Chain A
């Protein structure tokens, strides 16, 4: 089974926010929730970089570990999903997430955050694949249709890659080798406990 990962090549990202828009549209994400976002740092200065960020579907996901009701689970593809039926909206996953991925539909005063929502790697939720119930809670299940996440699929500069971790890492390494520089696979060290650099093996540490 493939181990699904995201990789954002920040040397290619042009901050067009198409990934953000595609995600919102594909999954009919409610107003105020952003499963994906583009963060620009060093804005307007030399070395400016934009990075498209969403749930990285971590190895040993901290959200799953701190959840008081154990509502997270990992698919065979290594995608971290959760059950909105179990979620109590406590907000712990947001405090534990390195990437700010969990989103809540409400302001959250008096503990009224509502059910947590986050990037599903376009893989739906615990409901049967492709059902209306699954779509209403988690959005489209593209993985079940044999398609990869829409954000990466429609990225105009192919900065955002989604798919088998080994394949996207090798694509990135090829790029770095060809153009002679690379900022590294953003967030990989935090999410997968491994980085990707030219000449370094892409495979995730097993165990």
Chain B
């Protein structure tokens, strides 16, 4: 009894399949016997969006079933927006910073060096900063080499030496990435509290951070609005660069061909933007401002510098200290 019931179902299923198959062939009979290349390409395009339009191959590599893909579009994107505009953008950033230095000069401590110092960053904070910074410099240089080295470095050192440098650079780039990712994760954890928007940020930005005029020092907490923007640029751009980088490091594991192309494109564009932001950050933290480097160097800054640039933070720290002393 059980067997005959199963048998009946099987016959029903078969009939159903045959009916569908019949309907399908009937509808497809309009296809001409010899489809032109154009028609075949149209057929491939007709697949629902997001689905891979593939033929069939008898080899294990499923990627090879894609007959034709828009590689020239990726080529144009990487060469136009990324290489040309990206290159000009970086040159423009350097030129603007040089011009700014010539016009404004080094931002001095207006009230002079006090000789007294105040601890700005702990050893751990500086470790996190320099972990991120050194790995970013390695990643930035090796990344720029991939994008621009063929036009800049290769003519200088020859193709053989350049290929060796680039192969080493690629390895460095892939493995230094983990230090950078650790850096931005730690940075997010230790500094997010100080980088949330706060009262006074608007006024700080309104005054241009006081950078364009001597003696103007809008009040700021541990981080001023400009530093907060740098922080979020590093976290958000750096995070997106990390995600796209991981996609690139495991090719076709997380993404299809179009996904890989988008990842490489975004990785380059965002990285070039972040390099521009960081160039400005390096400028103001070194030659651009007296006393600024100590914050990340020794961790101790001059009290007058701190009062001028982070008045609210000084009040907070000293208030806490005097409060503790009074107890």
Contacts and interface: CB of A to CB of B under 8 A. Distances in A.
**Chain B associates with chain A:** yes
A202 interface: no
Contacts of A11: 34
A90 interface: yes
Given A41-B44, A68-B149, A96-B71, A183 B36 contact: yes
A69 B57 contact: no
Interface in B148-201: 149-150, 154, 159-160, 162-163, 166-167, 170-171, 173-175
Interface residues of B, number: 62
Interface string A66-92: 111111000000000000011111111
Nearest to B257: A95
Interface stretch (B6-14, B206-214, B246-254): B246-254
Given A39-B64, A69-B150, A184-B37, A96 B75 contact: yes
Nearest to A70: B150
Given A39-B67, A98-B69, A46 B29 contact: yes
User: Helix, strand, loop or mixed for chain B's interface?
Assistant: helix
A42 B145 CA distance: 44
Interface centre among A53, A86, A87, A111 (most CB of B within 10 A): A111
Interface in A75-132: 85-92, 95-100, 108-111, 113
B311 interface: no
B105 to A, nearest CB: 39
Interface residues of A, number: 56
A110 B249 contact: yes
Nearest to B145: A68
Contacts of A87: 163
Interface stretch (A30-38, A135-143, A151-159, A160-168): A30-38
Contacts of B79: 65-66
Given A39-B65, A183-B37, A95 B250 contact: no
Q: Which 3 A-B pairs have the closest CB atoms?
A: A41-B55, A184-B37, A86-B163
A42 B56 CA distance: 9
Given A68-B149, A86-B160, A40 B34 contact: no
B49 interface: no
A39 to B, nearest CB: 4
Contacts, number: 161
Nearest to A181: B34
A187 interface: yes
B214 to A, nearest CB: 46
30 contacts: A10-B37, A17-B58, A32-B60, A32-B61, A37-B64, A39-B65, A41-B56, A43-B55, A45-B28, A47-B43, A49-B40, A62-B71, A62-B72, A66-B75, A66-B78, A69-B166, A87-B163, A88-B166, A90-B146, A91-B251, A92-B78, A96-B71, A96-B74, A98-B71, A99-B67, A110-B175, A111-B171, A183-B34, A183-B40, A190-B72
B102 interface: no
Given A45-B28, A111-B249, A38 B43 contact: no
Contact of A100 (B63, B166, B171): B63
B36 A70 contact: no
A123 B55 CA distance: 29
Contact of B56 (A39, A91, A182): A39
